[in-house]
Chains A and B, each alone.
Chain A
Amino acid sequence: MNKTVLIIGVVIVAVIVFVLFGGLGKDPQHIDSPLIGKPAPPFALKAVGTGETIDLESLRGKPVIVNFWATWCVPCYEEHPTLVANARNLPNVQFVGVVFNDTEDKILRFLAERGAAYPTLIDANGKTAIAYGVGGVPETYFINPAGKIVAKFEGPLSTELLEENLAKAMK
């Protein structure tokens, strides 16, 4: 019996099986954000419609939900009513929408059709999105009253998931 072959073989099998079993069950599409636990990158952007500039720093003191979306994004249509409803139900939480690579007309039309309950800001060429590590839309960041990002959610939100992530900002 060739002991060298046996030992090398068993080691290789063990490594392969361990690695692959470890990978099962994970979602290969999900990316961990490095910004969690860090201060939210500051920005001050113009809101559609009103034209006023909203500064993130000025929103300290209450939890902030920043939702990146766009009118060319299909899942955002589904998510929007959830956000509007929750914004109305939670007056102590500041909701902010940020849109990039879009035009003001399209956004205003979208909001007119689907309702607006909070400011929607324009991030002209997505630089704010890049700073936040946004890959696609919709993506939502939950910021606590001290200005730290506590959670990031990729994809359309439901009320349960929103509340679950918001709880982290309330602590």
Chain B
Amino acid sequence: MHEMAITQSIVAAVCERMGEAQVQRICVEIGRLSGVVADSVRFCFDLVTEGTILQGAALEIVQPAGKARCRDCGTEFALNDLLVLCDCGSANRELLAGEELRIREVEVLA
């Protein structure tokens, strides 16, 4: 389950950036095509944050939908998984959204 490693990466990055500041809320982007299960990250979050500046923080997860552009016909289309083909039949597509794995922001005690 790579979500444990992903959650550890999130917590380590925030601890490094924020020093001693107590984090009340964290907002993370996990795209629907990223290969990371948001619920699993939620599950790991409480375990991983114990004893850190994120302990007790609210975890907000934003999940951008998948979007691609066909390299053959130029059409932009939505996709729920990586196997969706363009209506023209092409698998040659460029992903525009859905793969995000980013820490957007944190809210800390002033």
A and B together in one complex? no
